[in-house]
Chain A
């Protein structure tokens, strides 16, 4: 799609540059076939095919318990919001496994009010997203045109793996497959869990080694863009609804009141850096420096996100005196109120638009 075509969605839209909202990351993946393994670890998987036309491979990446599966499960629920700034979207599973995951996770989150269990095995998923950006900040205004060219459609392939496979110096077939998947993706969603980081200070351990391997793979395939990786990256500061993180954001003066009375962070990249300082002694600053060193600034997007969102009042607004949406009973976390995914679709749409306008790696 050519950027000069007036009826195409443009990126970045001026409204986004004003940072009215933050975007969040989604995940994605592609078919798993293709080139042979290219790095040291023994690879024991079937080569995946090349990405087909119209398919977009997005990798979801993050430390253990950073909420990758919950994020994927909330994608469909987030897409159902007709008032979202990302337009109207339909998510169609491409196979039975993907359909089952989508339905089961939605039931767990919305009906049972529990979080999906931690991923124990590799699960490839594929969904087709059909969207209409008309009337949103992401869509392009079309005068005297009738053709619905603000509509988008893409295939999203995701490889859902346990977060532990991204641990530094881990080398097994699963890790190799996951890293290869990330390397071959056009877009990456990196889920950074500040709650875990505040507690364990180990997020860098699940970033550094993986990023090194991805860089090596891209180098071997001559895909590096100067000193940068070719990927578009959406960095999602997850669990923004957690009272500890949200209170820090408020204390630092990073929050504004957005539409519908929901808090927004106007400058998520700045908040990321500020939080790195606030979590003194953590590895968050290293994480930020590493990401900025490896991804081109124009392809790096920051978001604050929450798969379940804040606890809301009737009407959808947030009462800052009581916004927690997680209840812990017998050590198990449960969702308290209605689900209102916060910045879940936005990172995905941002990545897609960026990839379309910025070319493929």
Chain B
């Protein structure tokens, strides 16, 4: 059988038995590794050229074998690397050589293959650089212990930052790690651009296999050395490239140190045994010695960022994390503080290698009256006063106690840093509805980035742009709240399609929201008159309504249909809007998998009544996702008017109202009750609610109008009532209590059951 090789025309040429040994090594250079300035013994490969020259033909065979051995080592390294990335060709897992590399290797005489190697100066296959050999002897070369030690010192404040230099088969990369401003997690920066070998040595071949072969140290039959201006000696060819790579990569580190910052360096060589990356690491030793080193194989598929993250996981927490609670009534007497804390993750905690760490604590949702006063009440009062002082014209608000009775509680996460619990800085506050008078389990996950998130109970309101919601002990964090707005524009988008009952449910919810908005909002100069407000009015709350019904005709057509699917009202006062929304018609459903929400969003993006300087808010109450802009893999038909909801939303958020707050209220009635929705349709529904609920997301039937109004008030800069804290039923001092630890879950997306099917942002 004739086999045709397709590696290139030159590979088909017959070769003589000693092809490859060309005595190509330049005079005074090592014939094996082509290092220049070789004396009696080559410093790179250990070969003794003079001894070979004097020994005759037998030694010449040995030299040929050494050349073959050298190239074979490089080819093995390159093959392992290519195989790890799934790019090898014809190499078995056992480690044979890639098909493309075989013809490159300088051949040894038949007597030298595969018997014992004639000379032993060369390293075994797979090690061609001195540092690699060192790493081979050091069994802990890949251990991150040194890096962990440095990062631990960084969290303690001993260093300003830690730089990590990665030297890999791709090039050189520098990362800077610093402490998160909140004392949690890490910040990863790329102070400079990555430097790639092909940019440094443009004479490297374009083929990844051949490039890897040369980087590993191989010479081959047709080396680039000595051609096209490339020096004939390998080290002379590579020296400028390595030097330039180090200069370019370490420039930010040098600058930081010149400013007096204490920035140690961690070296991560992800090319153990490769000659030229190893040479760069060796040069670094003389230029800027690393405080810690890690030697990894080039076949390690992780990127430098992955490696850094895995090291960060092993750094123990400097400070623990805790959940603020209210002490049990029996603990209150004699206590000087009104809040306690349950430690979730104590200081010293380390993350597992993969996944997140979960901690649960069981708390009591105790109403204010049940608690016998004190505790949250005082703290709430403190927060309320702060709000009132800040906004002397604030409208009457629902009592915090009433909200506690409603079952809305605050879940403040704090860093256990400081002596008094009250001084512990708040990281994040969630709010959840919990059944009053019952115990509830709060579960918090600590992820690989050092960030915390609630997994249960289900949170119904999320902070916007990282700003947290108020809670009882957060009275001093009002700086994070937006300033109170004198003019407020609210546009409500309402899906009209559905049964009478479904429509009434939505309208009832919306009217309740509107009435509450009207009760707490600033007076509207043109109240009661839709559109009656003069354009020059610059204050007050104005409401607009856009109802949308299904498209009557779904086939494609040349232009937009004549009959609009929108019912537009306003702007007007909240009270007038509450009356107007009741008159919105009930429309039939004409398509199961989509409604013209994209038309409504397009109308919102072109609503002429958005006022400059006013606070802008969009509230969407919908059941079905919008029509896609083009046909996808499901049965959802594209919008016949060719509107794109993503484009409309982007325009709203970036051009029309850059400060826009979007509140999503989803009606989940009759959504995929038959289970016939295709995955793509479900995914689009999830996507739209993730997009619309980026600021706040609620569910009709689960959340109340009060929940929505509280978020609206918050977005509009109005004082929001402070919900209470959950009660810690533990008899021991609250601050000393620890949470029940779930352990790690390796699937980072995993969450307790209550969160699994939720689309709430944790």
Contacts and interface: CB of A to CB of B under 8 A. Distances in A.
Nearest to A331: B674
Interface string A302-328: 000000000101100001111110111
Nearest to A248: B633
Interface in B573-628: 589-593
A328 to B, nearest CB: 4
B642 to A, nearest CB: 8
B592 A322 contact: no
Contact of B635 (A243, A247, A322): A243
B630 A244 contact: no
Contacts of A327: 554, 590-591, 635, 637
Contacts of B678: 244
Given A322-B556, A336-B637, A328 B631 contact: no
A330 interface: yes
B331 to A, nearest CB: 57
B556 A243 contact: no
A291 to B, nearest CB: 27
A243 B634 contact: yes
A328 B638 contact: no
A328 B677 CA distance: 10
A243 B554 CA distance: 16
A337 interface: yes
A144 interface: no
B128 to A, nearest CB: 42
A213 B472 CA distance: 77
A263 to B, nearest CB: 12
A336 B631 CA distance: 14
Nearest to B670: A330
Contacts of A311: 555-556
Given A311-B555, A336-B554, A330 B589 contact: yes
Contacts of A324: 631, 635-638
Best-buried of A244, A322, A323 by chain B (most CB within 10 Å): A322
Contact of B637 (A313, A314, A319, A322): A322
B676 interface: yes
Nearest to B681: A328
A322 B631 contact: yes
Nearest to B638: A322
A319 B556 contact: yes
B632 interface: yes
A17 interface: no
Classify chain B: how many residues form its interface, as a range: 20 to 34
Contacts of B629: 321
B489 to A, nearest CB: 34
A329 B592 contact: yes
Contact of B630 (A313, A322, A331): A322
A314 B676 CA distance: 31
B591 A243 contact: no
A313 B635 contact: no
Interface residues of A, number: 21
Interface in B208-228: none
Contacts of B554: 327, 336
A336 B636 CA distance: 12
A242 B636 CA distance: 11
A243 B632 contact: yes
A314 B558 CA distance: 9
Interface string B396-425: 000000000000000000000000000000
A243 B633 contact: yes
A330 B635 CA distance: 13
B633 A244 contact: yes
Given A244-B634, A244-B678, A321-B631, A330 B556 contact: no
A1 B634 CA distance: 47
Contacts of B634: 243-244
Nearest to B593: A328
Interface string B645-678: 0000000000000000000000000000010101
Contacts of B637: 322, 324, 327, 336
Interface string B251-286: 000000000000000000000000000000000000
Contacts, number: 59
Contacts of B680: 244
A311 B555 CA distance: 7
Interface of A is mostly: loop
Given A311-B556, A313-B556, A336-B554, A328 B633 contact: no
B463 to A, nearest CB: 38
Best-buried of B555, B629, B633, B634 by chain A (most CB within 10 Å): B555
Contacts of B631: 243, 320-324
Interface string A5-30: 00000000000000000000000000
B635 A329 contact: no
A331 B556 contact: no
Nearest to B591: A327
Given A243-B632, A322-B637, A331-B674, A337 B590 contact: no
A359 B114 CA distance: 66
Contacts of A337: 555-556
A244 B680 CA distance: 10
A149 B70 CA distance: 80
Interface in B698-744: none
Contacts of B558: 314
A323 B554 CA distance: 11
Contacts of B674: 331
A329 B631 CA distance: 18
Contacts of A320: 631
B555 A328 contact: no
Contacts of A313: 556
Nearest to A314: B558
A330 B592 contact: yes
Contacts of B591: 327-329
Contacts of B638: 321-322, 324
Interface in A322-352: 322-324, 326-331, 336-337
A311 B638 CA distance: 12
B640 to A, nearest CB: 8
A357 B107 CA distance: 64
Nearest to B555: A337
A123 B561 CA distance: 43
A320 B638 CA distance: 11
A193 to B, nearest CB: 15
A330 B497 CA distance: 12
A328 B630 CA distance: 17
Best-buried of B589, B632, B634, B637 by chain A (most CB within 10 Å): B637
A324 B555 CA distance: 9
Contacts of A330: 589, 592
A329 B590 CA distance: 6
Interface in A224-270: 242-244, 247
B592 to A, nearest CB: 4
Nearest to B679: A244
Contacts of A326: 635
A331 B629 CA distance: 22
A331 B592 contact: yes
Contacts of A322: 556, 630-631, 637-638, 640
A284 to B, nearest CB: 17
A319 B556 CA distance: 9
Nearest to B553: A336
Contacts of B592: 328-331
A53 B630 CA distance: 52
Interface of B: 554-556, 558, 589-593, 629-638, 640, 674, 676, 678, 680
15 contacts: A242-B635, A243-B633, A244-B680, A247-B632, A247-B633, A314-B558, A322-B637, A322-B640, A324-B636, A327-B554, A327-B637, A328-B592, A329-B589, A329-B590, A336-B554
Given A243-B635, A324-B631, A329-B592, 12 more contacts: A243-B632, A244-B633, A244-B680, A247-B632, A314-B558, A319-B556, A321-B631, A326-B635, A327-B554, A328-B593, A329-B591, A331-B676
The 4 closest A-B pairs by CB, nearest first: A321-B630, A337-B555, A322-B638, A328-B592
